[in-house]
Amino acid sequence: MNGLSADLGELEALKRGLAAAPATCDVLVCPPASLIDRAALAAQGAFALGGQDCHAQPSGAFTGDISAEMLKDAGASAVIVGHSERRQYHGETNTVVAAKARAAWRAGLTAIICIGETEIERDAGQAHHVCGGQLRGSIPTEATAENTAIAYEPVWAIGTGRTPNDDDIVAMHAQIRNCVVEHLGAVGQKIRILYGGSVKPSNAKAILSLNDVNGALVGGASLKAQDFLAIIAASPGR
């Protein structure tokens, strides 16, 4: 819940930065819904846009919600579903998240399905069990590499400046890959797994170079074009 019209200047700076040093990765920005249409004008195709959440239904008496179709109409090509903050503060279950993923596909959006354990769950040795359950419950079996990405966000690392060590990230991403393949079959080998949780310019290169880390879901560091461009530049292949 960040961003006013005055902040569109950061997206214009991002566009200029990408023109000067083209990215070797896909770049997606998920602004608040109130800015998506204006962000599309600022982006002018330099990067893609997504929503931060959607309702499972295409329309109806759901005051205050936004549908995947509305996001698509505003200029989005993707939407985040099941973010830990939605699960924590809005009580979203795996079933709700799966319904939102299907809604995204219905509207022609890519669903970025988030999973992640709390600090208590990690300390109790339950991280892999919790994330496996979220994967199986949140990812519909119709998922493909074209319509779905998975974002692993250890809840205790979001906005705290803390990150798991490299071995922990590799182990969890390997577990996620195994779970997705078990759940979806061969399709699961191709679905992108993103890491999220205090990704910043100083650690992005190391994280993005890890096995089975296929991208990053960036939070606070994406609010400033300079920081976000530094993370984009850290993508392998640069």
- At residue 186, what is the residue type? A
DSSP annotation of 201 = T
Taking alpha carbons only, the member of 14, 30, 12 closest to residue 22 is: 14
**pLDDT tens digits along 140-180:** 999 999 999 999 999 988 878 888 999 999 999 999 999 99
**Architecture, CATH, for domain 5-233:** Alpha-Beta Barrel (3.20)
What does the pLDDT average to over 85-94? 96
pLDDT tens digits, 21-40: 999 999 999 999 999 999 99
Task: Kindly report the pTM of this predicted structure.
Answer: 0.96
Q: What is the pLDDT of residue 168?
A: 94
- Dihedral sign, Cα of residue 3, residue 4, residue 7, residue 9: positive
Catalytic residues: 83, 153
DSSP character at residue 161 = S
pLDDT digits (tens, 9 = 90+) for 35-54: 999 999 999 999 999 999 99
Task: Determine the Cα–Cα distance for residues 103 and 211; give it in Å rounded to an integer.
Answer: 31
75 pLDDT more than 60: yes
Per-residue pLDDT of 116-142, as tens digits, reads: 999 999 999 999 999 999 999 999 999
